[in-house]
Copies of this chain bind each other. A is one copy, B any other.
Amino acid sequence: MQKNPEQCQVVVALDMIVGKWKPMILLYLMNEGTKRFSELKRLLPDITPRMLTLQLRELEAHDIIERKVYPEVPPRVEYSMTEYGRTLEPILEAMHEWGKAHLEHMKAKHARQSEGVADPSGKSGR
Contact = CB atoms under 8 A, between A and B. Distances in A.
A103 B12 contact: yes
A107 interface: no
Copies of this chain in the oligomer = 2
A53 interface: no
A117 interface: no
Contacts of A24: 3, 5, 8
A14 interface: yes
Given A43-B3, A63-B105, A96 B13 contact: yes
A99 B11 contact: yes
Contacts of A84: 105
Contact of A11 (B13, B23, B69, B101): B23
Interface size class of A (residues with CB under 8 A): 35 or more
Given A1-B28, A3-B43, A10 B102 contact: no
Interface in A60-119: 62-63, 69, 84, 87-88, 90-92, 94-103, 105-106, 109
Nearest to A93: B10
